[in-house]
Chain A
C-alpha cells in the first residue's frame, strides 16, 4: 500500500489539541448561537412581557404622503410577529371617524389602540374608553410640550402619546405678491389686518384667481380656521381651563368672523384638499393649510416643470391652533402591554422622523426638527418648531364635537355671506355645546 499519508491505526490517538483552541472554538460557537437566537427571537417568540396575539389599531385614513403610517405599521408587523397589527382604516371625514370609534368603544372590546384627533382625547378619557399612561414610563422631555399637553385631561393626567402634531400655516406665492402687490421682496403679511388688506387689494386689481383659500366647508376645518382668526383678533371662546369665555370677547369674535366672511368671499366652501388644488393650480395667492400640503405642492417630477415660488410661514399674529393625532390604548384591550408597545413604537423618534420627513406630518418630538434632512426638505422647519411652542391647543372639552358645531354654525353663515352679526344667543349656544347639551329652539 502506497499512501502518502501516514497510516493511523485504531490504537492511534489524534494529536492533542491545546485546551485554548477548544475554549476558543466553543466560545465562538456559543456567541454565534446566541447571536442567531437573538436574531430569531422576535420572529418566533413573543417579546418579554407582551401578551401574544393580534392587535387592532383604529384610525382615520392615512393622509400622509406615501401612506407613511401604514408603512410604519407594516414595519412593526415584520418585527413583532407575535403581535401583528390589523388596521381599521376609516374615511377621511372626522365625523365618520369619531362615530365609528365611539361606537366600537361603547361596544367594548375589539380595539387595542385608538388614533384620536387631538380634540377627542378628553372625551374618550372621560368616558372611560382609554387606559391611563403612567408618566414614569414616558420620557416627556423628548416630546414637544404643547402636543404632549393635548394628551392630558383637565387634571393633567396622561391618556395618550402624540402620533404627530399639526399647525396651520400661511402659504403664499412670491411671484404673485411681487406682481400683484408690487412687493419686490415678496414679504408675506405678519398680521391678519395686513393679510385682509392684501386680499382686498388683490381683488381690486381685477385678478381672476382667488386671493385667499382656506377651509370654509361645513366641517371641523372651518372651526379651526375660525378659532385661529378669533385668536388673531385677540379673543378667545374657551379659556385654558375649559370655561366658556366668549361673553367677554364678543367684539373680537365678531371681528374674526367678519374677516372670515371677507377672506372666503366667492368660495362655496373648501376642504384641505380643495384648497391645496386651488393653490397648486397657480390661481390662489394665499392659502391657509397644514404643513403636509407643502409636500403635495412640491411633488412634481416632469422635466421642464419649474418649481412654483411657494413661500410658507406661520399664521399672522401668532394665531396658531394645534392639530394632530394622539395614540391611546383602549381600556378594554386584552393586550394592554403589547398595545402600549405599539404606541411607543409609533411615537418613537424614528417614527416621528419618518412621518415628517417622508409623510409631511409634523413631528411631536423635538429632535426631529434638528435633523438636517428635515431642515432641507422643509425650509420653514425652524418657524414651524417655534410656532408649535406658541400654539394654543384646541379647547380640551369632553363634548368638543358639540362645541365645535355651535361655533361652526354662525361661522359658516358669515363665510357664505348670510350673516353679518353674531346671533344673540351665541354665548348660550356655545355654553350648551361645551356642556354637551342641545339648546331647545
Chain B
C-alpha cells in the first residue's frame, strides 16, 4: 500500500475533484432524463431511450458514490431511531400500524398505479381498444361522429392518452335497422351479407323516438328500453333579407307563422318528410295536427312547391338544404343575396342553424368546416313558434344472438361489448357527456339550464333561453302526417326510359352499368305518391330503332311498382342506341294535356344516338306544353358532348345531368321527385 490506495483509490486526489466529477456525472444523467421528460411524448426513439437509460445509470452511480460516505455516518443513527420507533409501534399493536398502512396506501397507491400505467404505455404503447359499433341515420352522422370522438378523447383521458374504447359510426336508414332488430336471423341480409347493412351495431342512435317505436324491447335486438338523451327544437331559420322578424314568429303558433311567411311573400323550405324523422315532424307541425285552425295540407304543399320552383332548394335532409344555403352565400359561392336560395326561410332544427352559422361540417356536400363560420351578413337567425316541438334523440344498446341457420354468419354480442356500450350511454348522461351534447348544439334531456360554452349561443343565431315542449310527437301522428303529405302533394307523371344498348354491359365496381341503373330505378320509384303516375321503357326494343314498353304509364300503385321492379330484372344489354327516337316517343307519351299533372320523361343513357336518324333539334321541337325532358348520363357520353349539348341548348325545358355509379341514385331521386312534387 505504498501508493496509499489501500482504503479507497481516490484518497490521494483532492476532495473537490471527486465531488466535481460526481456532480458532472449527476447533472449529465439528470439532464438526459429531463430532456426526455420535457419531450411532448413518451420516449420512443433509440436516442430517447439512450438518454433515459444512460441518464439513469450515471445519476444513480454518482448519487450512490456521494451518498456512500453520508450513509456510513447516518445509517447507524437512523437504524437506532427506527428501532425505537418500531418498539413504540409494537406497544400500540393495532392502531398505529393500521394508520401507517392507510397513510402509505393513500400516499403511494394512486400515484403508484398511475406511474405503473404510464410505464406500461411508455414501454408497450397503447393496447387495442374495445371496438364499439354505432348505427345512425345519415342525417345524424355528423353529430354521432363528433360525440364518438369526444367520448374516445374522454376515455383516453382516463388512460394516459390511450382510448379504452373506439367507436365506429355507420349510417343506415332507421327502417332497415328496425327491420333487422326484429329479424329472427339477426343482422344479416341473405343476398348481400353485410355489404349494404354495415357492421353489426352495439348501439343505435336516432333523432326521434318515432324511429325506434316500431321495435318492441322484448323479442328484439334491443337490450333495453330506449332512453332520451337530448332534444333540439324545430325552428324557422330566417335569412337577413327576410321581411319577417323573429318577433313575428316567437310566441305565435306554427300555423300562423306559416301563413305570415307565405302571405308575406317569403319563400319557405322544409326537409323532405320521407327522408328523415325530422322532416315528418316538421310537416306535422305545419299541418297543425294538434292545433285548432289547422292548415290544409294541400295548401301547405302547394306553397312549398312554389317556393322550391323559385328557390332551387334541393329536396332532401335538413343538412342538405342548409349546405345549399351555405354554398349560395355571397362570399362563398357565386350567388348574391338576391338569389332565391339566399332569400328562403328554412324550417330546420335549432342545432342545424347553430352548426350552419358557426361553420361546422354539415355532412353530404359540405363535409368540411368553414373557418370563421358564416359571414355575419348571411347568418340565419332562429325563431321559435310557441307550439314548436323538438327532436328527441334516443340511444339504445343492441344485443345479438348468432343464428344457427346455415349460410347466416352472424355473431353473438359479448359482455365486453355490452359493457362498453353501457359506458358510452352512461357517459352521455354524465357531466362530460352533457357538455359534449351542448357542444354539438343539443339540449341534454332533463337539463334545467344549459351548460355554458356550447353551441347554443346567440352568436350562432339561436336563443338558449327559449323553451319548448320536450315530448316527441307520437309515431301514429307522424304516420298520419305522412299519409296526408302523400295525398296532398302535387301529382306528377314520370316516364323512365333506360338505355339497354350493348355498352350498358360494361363493368363498374358495382356490377355492370345496367345493374347500377336497375338498382337506382328500383329505388327511385319509392318516391311516387299514391296519385302519381309512372311508366318504364327500355331502348332499343324489338324494333332496333325504337323502344320497348315494359310498364305502361299509369298510377303508381304498389302492384304496379312491384311489376316495374320485376320488369327491370328482364332487361338485357344488347344492340344500338336509338336515343333521339326514344326521347321523341317518350315526350309524346307523357304529354297528355292534363293540366293537373306535371309530367316529364327521364332518359338514362351511356351513349350518344347511333341509329335514330333524328336530330337534337327535332326532339326539342316536339316538346309538349308543360312537359320536360331530363337526360341522365352514365359512362362515356356526357352532357357536354356534341349531341346532348345541342339538345340542351335548344330548350330550357331540356335538362342534362351527368352521373356516375355512386351518384346515379341521388341524381335520379332528385329528378323524378321534382316532377312528382310538381316542381
Residues of A within 8 A of B (CB): 54, 56, 61, 63, 65-66, 86-93, 95-96, 98-100, 102-104, 106-108, 110, 123, 126-127, 208, 218, 243-244, 268-269, 271-274, 276-278, 280-283, 295-296, 299-305, 398-399, 412-413, 416, 418, 428, 431-432, 435-441
A435 and B126 form a contact (CB under 8 A):
yes
Which chain A residues border B413 with CB–CB below 8 Å? Answer: 107
- Would B131 and A243 count as touching, CB distance under 8 A? no
B636 near A280 with CB under 8 A, answer yes
Contact stretch, chosen from B40-48, B77-85, B336-344, B621-629: B40-48
Q: Which residues of A contact B90 (CB under 8 A)?
A: none
Considering the chains assembled together, what is the distance between the CA atoms of A90 and B198 in angstroms? Answer: 6
Residue numbers in B under 8 Å from A272 (CB-CB): 509
Q: Does B461 contact A (CB under 8 A)?
A: no
Interface flags, B39-62, vs A, CB<8A=1, else 0: 011101100000000000000000
Is B324 close to A, CB under 8 A?
A: no
Is A96 within 8 A of B125, CB to CB?
no
Please give, as numbers and ranges, the residues of chain A lying within 8 Å of B157 by CB-CB distance: 440
Q: Report the Cα distance A314→B163, complex, angstroms.
A: 39
| Complex interface: chain A residues within 8 A of B198 (CB) | 90-91, 93, 96, 100
Cβ 8 A contact of B638, one of A92, A282, A441: A282
The interface centre, meaning the residue of A98, A273, A438 with most chain B CB atoms within 10 A of its CB, is A438
User: Chain B contacts of A413 at CB under 8 A?
Assistant: 368
Q: Which residues of chain B come closer than 8 Å to A65, judged between CB atoms?
A: 507
**Interface 9-residue window, one of B277-285, B479-487, B498-506, B531-539:** B498-506
- A267 → chain B closest CB, angstroms: 12
In the complex, per-residue mask of B367-411: 1 if CB is within 8 Å of any chain A CB, else 0: 111010000000000000000000000000000001000110101
The answer to whether residues A440 and B153 also contact, given A244-B44, A431-B44 and a CB cut-off of 8 A, is yes
Please determine whether B152 and A438 come into contact, CB atoms closer than 8 angstroms. Answer: yes
Contact in complex: B507, A89 (CB < 8 Å) = no
10 contacts between A and B (CB under 8 A): A86-B409, A89-B192, A89-B195, A90-B193, A90-B195, A92-B195, A301-B505, A435-B125, A435-B126, A438-B161
- With A96-B168, A103-B199: A89-B128 Cβ-Cβ less than 8 Å: no
Chain A residues within an 8 Å CB radius of B128: 102, 106, 123, 126-127
Does residue B635 face the partner (Cβ distance < 8 Å to A)? yes
Of the candidates A93, A127, A273, the one having the most CB atoms from chain B within 10 angstroms of its own CB is A273
- Would you call B44 and A243 a contact (CB within 8 A)? yes
Q: Is the CB of B200 within 8 A of A273?
A: no
Say yes or no for B658: interface residue by CB 8 A criterion.
yes
**Which chain B residues border A108 with CB–CB below 8 Å?**
414
Task: Report if B554 contacts A (CB, 8 A).
Answer: no
Selected from A295, A398, A428, the residue in CB contact (under 8 A) with B40 is: A428
14 further A-B pairs in the complex, CB-CB below 8 A; given A280-B636, A282-B636, A440-B153: A90-B198, A98-B168, A100-B194, A103-B132, A106-B414, A280-B635, A281-B660, A282-B638, A299-B506, A303-B576, A431-B44, A437-B156, A437-B160, A438-B162
Q: By the criterion CB–CB under 8 Å, are A418 and B402 in contact?
A: no
CB contacts under 8 Å to A, within B503-549, are 503, 505-510
- B417 touches A (CB below 8 Å): yes
**B507 touching A66 by the CB < 8 A rule?**
yes
Q: Which residue of B lies closest to A123 (CB)?
A: B128
In Å, the complex CA distance between A278 and B640 comes to: 13
Q: Bound complex: CA of A348 vs CA of B359, how far in Å?
A: 52
Once bound together, how far apart are the Cα atoms of A102 and B131, in whole Å?
7
Is the Cβ of B193 less than 8 Å from the Cβ of A87? yes
Closest Cβ–Cβ distance, residue B116 to chain A (whole Å): 17
User: How many Å lie between the Cα of A126 and that of B153 in the bound state?
Assistant: 23
A-contact 0/1 string along B5-41, CB 8 Å cutoff: 0000000000000000000000000000000000011
Are the CB atoms of A103 and B417 closer together than 8 Å? yes
Contact of B635 among A56, A268, A281, A435 (CB under 8 A): A281
A303 to B638, CA, bound (A): 19
Bound Cα distance A439, B161 (Å): 7
Which residue of chain A has the shortest Cβ distance to B46 in the bound complex?
A: A243
Q: Which residues of A contact B407 (CB under 8 A)?
A: 86
Nearest 6 interchain pairs by C-beta = A436-B126, A277-B660, A302-B503, A99-B168, A437-B161, A438-B156
Task: Tell whether A106 pairs with B131 under 8 Å between CB atoms, given A296-B509, A299-B507, A440-B161.
Answer: yes
- Spell out B's residues near A (CB within 8 Å): 40-42, 44-45, 125-133, 152-153, 156-157, 160-163, 166, 168, 170, 192-196, 198-200, 202, 365, 367-369, 371, 402, 406-407, 409, 411-414, 416-417, 501-503, 505-510, 576-577, 607, 610, 635-636, 638, 640, 658, 660-663
Contacts of B170 in A (CB 8 A): 96, 99
Residue of B nearest to A104 (CB): B411
By a CB distance below 8 angstroms, the chain B residues around A440 are 153, 156-157, 161
B192 and chain A: residue at smallest CB distance? A89
Residues of A near B162 (CB, < 8 A) are: 436-438
The closest CB in chain A to the CB of B163 belongs to: A438
Contact pick for B193, options A89, A107, A428, CB 8 Å = A89
Using known A-B contacts A96-B168, A302-B503, A304-B610, determine if residue A273 contacts B409 with beta carbons closer than 8 Å: no
* Chain A residues within an 8 Å CB radius of B194: 88-91, 100
Docked pose: A435 CA to B328 CA in angstroms: 42
A281 and B658 within 8 A (CB): yes
CB distance from B341 to the nearest CB of A (A): 18
Contact A301-B638, Cβ < 8 Å, known A272-B509, A296-B509, A440-B157: no
Bound Cα distance A269, B132 (Å): 28
CA distance A100 to B201 in the complex (A): 9
Q: Is the CB of A301 within 8 A of B506?
A: yes
CA of A440 to CA of B163, assembled, Å: 11
Q: With A and B bound together, what is the CA distance between A266 and B272 in angstroms? A: 29
Complex contact B200–A305 (CB within 8 A): no
Q: Which residues of B contact A305 (CB under 8 A)?
A: 503, 607, 636
A269 to B40: give the CA distance in the assembly, Å: 33
Nearest CB in chain A to that of B512: its residue: A299
Pairwise interchain contact A301-B371, C-beta atoms closer than 8 A: no
Contacts of B40 in A (CB 8 A): 428, 431
Instruction: Determine how close the nearest CB of chain A comes to the CB of B133; give it in whole angstroms.
Output: 6
Residues in A whose Cβ lies below 8 Å from that of B607: 302, 305
- Are B200 and A100 touching (Cβ within 8 A)? yes
Per the bound structure, the CA–CA distance linking A88 and B198 in Å amounts to: 11
Contact partner of B131 (CB less than 8 A), chosen from A99, A302, A437, is A99
Q: How many whole Å from B421's CB to the nearest CB in chain A? A: 11
Residues of A close to B131: CB separation below 8 A: 99, 102-103, 106
Which chain A residue has the least Cβ–Cβ distance from B196?
A91
Bound Cα distance A16, B199 (Å): 76
B506 touches A300 (CB 8 A): yes
User: Considering the chains assembled together, what is the distance between the CA atoms of A296 and B130 in angstroms?
Assistant: 38
Nearest CB of A to B392, in Å: 27
Note all chain B residues with C-beta closer than 8 A to A107. 411-414, 416-417
Q: A441 near B409 (CB under 8 angstroms)?
A: no
Query: CA A209 – CA B501 in complex, angstroms?
Result: 26
* Residue of B whose beta carbon sits closest to that of A124: B128
Minimum CB–CB distance for A186 against chain B, Å: 20
A296-B507, A300-B636 known; A418-B44 Cβ under 8 A: no
